[in-house]
Structure 1
Amino acid sequence: MREFEYVRAREVGQAVAAVSADPAASYLAGGTTQLDLMKDGVLAPHRLIDITRLPLGGITRSGDLLRVGALTTMEELTADPTVAERLPFLRESLLLSASVQLRNMATIGGNLLQRTRCRYFRDPTVPACNKRRRGTGCAAVEGAARMHAILGASEHCIALHASDMAVPLVALDAVVRLLGADGERSVPLTGFYLVPGETPDVENVLAQGELITAVEIPLLPAGTRSTYLKIRDRVSYEFALTSAAVALRLDGDVIGEARVALGGVATIPWRVPEAEEILRGAPADLRTFTAAAEAAVRDPFTVEGTAFKVELAERTLVRALRTVAGGAT
């Protein structure tokens, strides 16, 4: 790890001004991703601005909207009674995402900004990584790629977005509140992340120094059923091969409303409006679920190591839909 200057911010404006004015500066919160990447030599900020003492935590409810401060820990959000009652699939995603120790350290804002688990990105001795250095190539396309993406991917980058929590959040139309040198703004989470395209090193719409201050989460209507299904190689702490966040409102045997997102298969948390359209107004049966799953994984970009994910993702979504619908046949 390279030497760096450590600064503890005493107010939000001071922190934003410091990082906005210095491209070599970064924020430090829980540090569960940042410090690992610094130790690996992938990130080397000259200055870390510690924001952990800033008043950016806490969970408040206003009607059917939950506002979560960016420095709220994952464990605090998991334990919130409103989340348990009205956002059960969000709670499930948090419980399945990390150990209790990590959930007590990792923040909500940090989780949304966590970097990919791509082994090539995290190994600076591998020269071909467009995410670290644009134009160098993508080693994963020709290498071992079991944990990589098939949606939103291309020959330029197949790095996977690893967050579990972000998957139900995009299904919920959550909004992130940002503060930068030019003031505040709100960005829907579905528009916050960027697919790699020809610029895999640009992962989101944040400007230099912009800080996530809060996440606003609409609550599911009463009576809506939801689940977060995570498929992984082992039951203990492990990242997803595929996952599905599903919320359905049923009118008898007919689906009145549907929200669907996929994880473990895409370069960003993957909302699937095509599947939602098929589900709305359709009978809650296996035929409908299969059609929705096929639409959800349309036009994948696969390499030798990721081709299995197409069928696995479809099966994951069908299973999640059947679970929410009460085992529909």
Structure 2
Amino acid sequence: MQRTVYGQSPPPLHHPVPQHVSTVPQLRSPPPPVSQPQSQGYDGSPYQQQQQGRAPSTGANMFGQYGNFMNEPAAQLASQFGQTAFRQGQEILEQNVKGWFKFGELKPYFNVTNFYVVNKLFLVLFPWRHKPWSRKQAGQEGWYLPPRDDINSPDMYIPVMSVVTYIFLQTLIAGLRGKFQPELFGYIASTALAVVFFEILGLYLGCYFLSVSNQSLLDLVAYSGYKFVGVIVTISIAEIMNGGKGTGGWVGWMVFLYTFLANSLFLMRSLKYVLLPENMGDARGPMHTMQTDTRKTKNQRTQFLFFYSYVVQLFFMWILSRP
């Protein structure tokens, strides 16, 4: 029993209050059913359970790993190195190519007119009475006039068109004979280009060994292409006169002989300014050895010019004129 002190109220009675903690479980949606492959059945094996629980990889994840590759310092360094190497290679290529072909000087070779083309074709086929053969120069600088102003100037229009015409003519004749095949275009074009290539290579090497320093490679290319004019005339006339027998008949051989001699004389007279310049015989100085060397060099160049104009042209024109 509690004692009651006089003047004080007894303390209130405290009863323990029961506390009930209720835990509400969190509701979760069941996982979506995993679609099974139709080709294979599900047998409940651990391997299949592992495959079902694996998260599929998407293209976005792969792009996230490698998408920023170009922003890496190593990739930027490689890109700069590639650009520098490409620029240096381009400069080296331009320097080497410009030593052989001067593309800035190619345009005057196509500066022709209809009057020039007709007269030039007539000159190639009938060079017997043409005079003079020297090229015209512009002023005192020594620049030669373009083809439209000088018929003796070489051009690239007639050689290029002659090569194209030769390819189509040979293909047309093969089609008329029933021997056309798609591969024939490549074969004829390869033969024509190979003839031009080896001819220019031999002519350029001959000029190199003979110390001819005033030649232009574009001039040599132009002169090597004029033979196709005679070859086209030979093939056309022989095909018409021989009734599809080609150059095998006597008419074909007569036309071939004429066009060969005309082309040889044309080259012999035209290339004279390249291999036999007019000031070559001017030996300066009193020494007799210089005159002897000049005479010897002139004889060598004359022999080389004759060999190129007749022997080489006979061989290549015979190859191109074959059916």
Pairwise TM-score range, normalised by the shorter structure: under 0.3
TM-score with structure 2 length normalisation?
A: 0.26
Considering fraction of residues, name the structure with more helix: 2
Structure of higher RCO (CA pairs closer than 8 Å, 6+ residues apart): 1
TM-score with structure 1 length normalisation?
A: 0.26
